[in-house]
Amino acid sequence: MRALSGIQPSGQLHLGNYFGAIRQYLALQDEHEGFYFLANYHALTSVADGKTLRQWTLNLATDYLALGLDPDKATIFLQSDVPEVTELTWILSTVTPMGLLERCHAYKEKTARGLSPNHALFGYPVLQAADILIYQSHLVPVGQDQKQHIEVARDLALKLNNTYGELLTVPEPYILDSTAVVPGIDGQKMSKSYDNAIELFGDEKAVRKRFLSVVTDSTPVADPKDPEQCTVYALFKLFATEEEAAELAAAYRAGGLGYGEVKKRTAQMMLDCFAEARERRQQLAGDPDYVHDVLREGGRRARTEAQKTMERVREATGIPIHYTPTV
């Protein structure tokens, strides 16, 4: 089976990206054919500086490799290296009901946060559907908060298939577990746009400071506390064993435990968890040519698959190609 997913290069990679998505990529790459892309077309909805976007794109590719995505097992590529995806986006838009897009929560959330309510932001789910469908993907590993967009992709695949015949595979979301939604330091969903993220590859001092900034209530140290209502405890559970989580929960309820102690312990657990990846990333950062080579080969493989789909879609929709430029 083919698994596909992607992340925007719109800032530094954070814990929410890892536990909500990348951890699933790693779990799947040994079992399925993985296609994992850097969504730089999508990033244009929030990044309006070319130099910045290029650097963040290289950073994200380096992060992918440092965390363990293997180009011998998975296809790692840039969204923009497959221009056919924008062609499929337009064709899908011809069968996309306005009401479907109006119900998408991501548009409402982002405009409420101050992003310009432009066409790209509104039509984002159609491009996201094209990203998935053009590679005939079976599984889409995503965080729980992205499940609605996979449902949109399924709806559009069915609508195009009902109109023109069986052209596209109808994908299924693959959600690892309930930790797919990771809280930020303010208790909301962790997000670059909310400025509440804890970066995976920030320097050690910055990581520790970020954990110490996690918002907690004013319950005195001596008093019992509810672990299930605590953002620090939710972050701790990302790294803890079941036994460690149960022990800490009991300590919360018993009283006498300060939030600062848990914050420091959780920061150290995170640094220990990603120590090898942080070292690999430092090595990869010194060899950007290798990273570009990985993306170049991944783009070639991905585009070959996309062109197969588009040949069928063009034939079915009556869109001929009379000129093929030489490469």
Distance CA 271, CA 183 (A): 18
Q: What DSSP letter does each residue of 46-68 carry, written as one string? A: T---HHHHHHHHHHHHHHHHHHT
Q: Catalytic one among 192, 225, 237, 263? A: 192
- Opening angle at CA 73, ends 68 and 76, nearest 5: 70
Helix axes 50-67, 275-285, angle to 10 degrees: 130
Distances (CA, A) of 110 to 40, 169, 193: 17, 29, 9
- Opening angle at CA 142, ends 180 and 109, nearest 5: 80
Active site residue 192: yes
Residues 6+ apart with CB under 8 A from 85: 41, 79, 127, 130, 131, 134, 306
First-residue to last-residue Cα distance in the chain: 31
- Strands 172-174, 139-141: pairing is parallel
Kindly report the backbone phi and psi dihedral angles of residue 116, in degrees, each rounded to the nearest multiple of 5, phi listed first: -60, 130
In single-letter form, the type of residue at position 200 comes to L
Active site residue 73: no
Distance CA 237, CA 89 (A): 39
Q: Catalytic one among 189, 225, 237, 263? A: 189
Q: Catalytic one among 51, 73, 108, 110? A: 110
Catalytic residue numbers read 110, 189, 192
